[in-house]
Amino acid sequence: MDLQALKFFQAVGKLGSISKAARELNYAQSNLTSRIQQLESDLQTKLLYRHNRGTTLTDKGKVLLSYTDEIFQLLDEVRNVMSDDQTPKGPLVIGSMETTAAVRLPALLSRFHREYPAVDLTLKTGPTELNVQRVLQYELDGAFVAGPIEHPDLIYKTVIDEELVLVTDVSHQPLSSIKEIQSRTILVFRNGCSYRARFEEWLHYEGVIPEKIMELGTLDGIIGCVFAGLGISLLPHSAVEKYVKEGHLLQHSIPNRFGKVKTLFIYRKDKYMSASFKEFIKMSSNEAVFSNKAILF
């Protein structure tokens, strides 16, 4: 099988357009078309329907596309095995929740970079749901996500026990009941965020329907809006401790059932354990690098 033709097909299948795939891969559109046609001839089946709006996968095309990520991942593993001399080096792509990346990871990443400067480490942030999917699809080597996570293809290790707290501006009175916040704007990350899901679970359990929910894309954005009195949020204590101590925010305890969450490091069971990934896991297993004292502000 022509691997370049397969790569062309993968791009077209994911983008739904030969022209878009050609631009992304920096190849002539006619080149992609002819190579995919040759792939269809080799496999003796039609893979794409072509129409004015782009392309649509046939049933056989969908099956082939589902295998492409695994095929190219296995090829990458073969290259890694052949070239790996057990010296930590090369690319390493790690995913993380926004809050964990902002508060817990700076010290870990700084130490890892100092000890293994030949490793080209990339950090990609996103909600737990997205990070899990990226790991499963071989787009990330591993990721820091909120538990619990149950999936037969994943290995997960608990690295941090987080406490979630309700965060308000300093003018907010102590809460005697969660129903007091019903009229306040709820500030959250986008759908897929585990902290948002925990907040909504708590509100639903208490029978509280918030009048307004506002999505923000960053931890700094949420904290800034809480400080300005725009609304309230549910965040890890570690993310707001500094601001609470300085008198900029107030935190309110919530029931343990909803306030305790584990941060996990996950990766695929069939993941090739390169030297750099082994050392990253080893360093991530050291609880001290995640302590508040280790945070670099």
Closest by CA to 52, choosing from 18, 23, 78, is 18
Same structural domain for residues 243 and 270? no
Beta bridge partners of 50: 55
Boundary (domain end) residue, out of 46, 68, 83: 83
**Ramachandran area for residue 247 (φ above 0: left; ψ -120 to 50: alpha; else beta):** left
H or E stretch at 55: strand 54-57
| Alpha-helical regions (H) of the chain | 3-15, 18-25, 29-43, 59-83, 98-103, 105-115, 128-136, 194-206, 219-227, 237-245, 256-259, 275-284
Question: What is the pLDDT averaged over residues 217-229?
Answer: 93
Same structural domain for residues 123 and 269? yes
Give the pLDDT score at 291: 59
Beta bridge partners of 260: 163
Give the pLDDT score at 140: 96
Alpha carbons 263 and 265: distance in angstroms, whole number: 7
CATH number of the domain encompassing residue 110? 3.40.190.10
* Higher per-residue pLDDT: 70 or 203: 203
Same structural domain for residues 140 and 268? yes
Same structural domain for residues 171 and 245? yes
Asked which of 69-83, 213-227, 281-295 is least confident by mean pLDDT, the reply is 281-295
Boundary (domain end) residue, out of 29, 62, 83: 83
**High-pLDDT (> 90) share of the chain, %:** 69
Q: Decide if pLDDT at 123 tops 70.
A: yes
Give the pLDDT score at 84: 64
How would you classify the pairing of strands 154-169 and 249-252? antiparallel
Same structural domain for residues 177 and 40? no
Question: What is the pLDDT averaged over residues 286-290?
Answer: 69
Same structural domain for residues 239 and 249? yes
- Tokens (6 digits) for 274: 């390169």
∠ CA 229-218-148, rounded to 5°: 105
Query: Over the stretch 40-62, which tens digit does the pLDDT of each residue have?
Result: 999 999 999 999 888 999 999 99
Burial of 149 (0-12, 13-18, 19+ CB in 10 A): middle
The alpha carbon of 253 is separated from its chain's Cα centroid by a whole number of angstroms, namely: 27
Give the pLDDT score at 295: 41
Domain span at residue 205? 163-260
How would you classify the pairing of strands 142-146 and 260-268? antiparallel
- Tokens (6 digits) for 88: 């930590």
Beta bridge partners of 155: 267
Boundary (domain end) residue, out of 83, 117, 134: 83
Q: pLDDT-derived band of residue 163, with 50, 70 and 90 as boundaries?
A: very high
Question: What is the pLDDT averaged over residues 13-26?
Answer: 93
DSSP 148: P
Structural domains counted in the chain:
3
Q: Decide if pLDDT at 288 tops 70.
A: no
Q: Decide if pLDDT at 239 tops 60.
A: yes
Same structural domain for residues 265 and 148? yes
pTM for the model? 0.69
Share the mean pLDDT of the chain.
89
Give the pLDDT score at 69: 84
Same structural domain for residues 204 and 140? no
Question: What is the pLDDT averaged over residues 200-228?
Answer: 92
Same structural domain for residues 48 and 12? yes
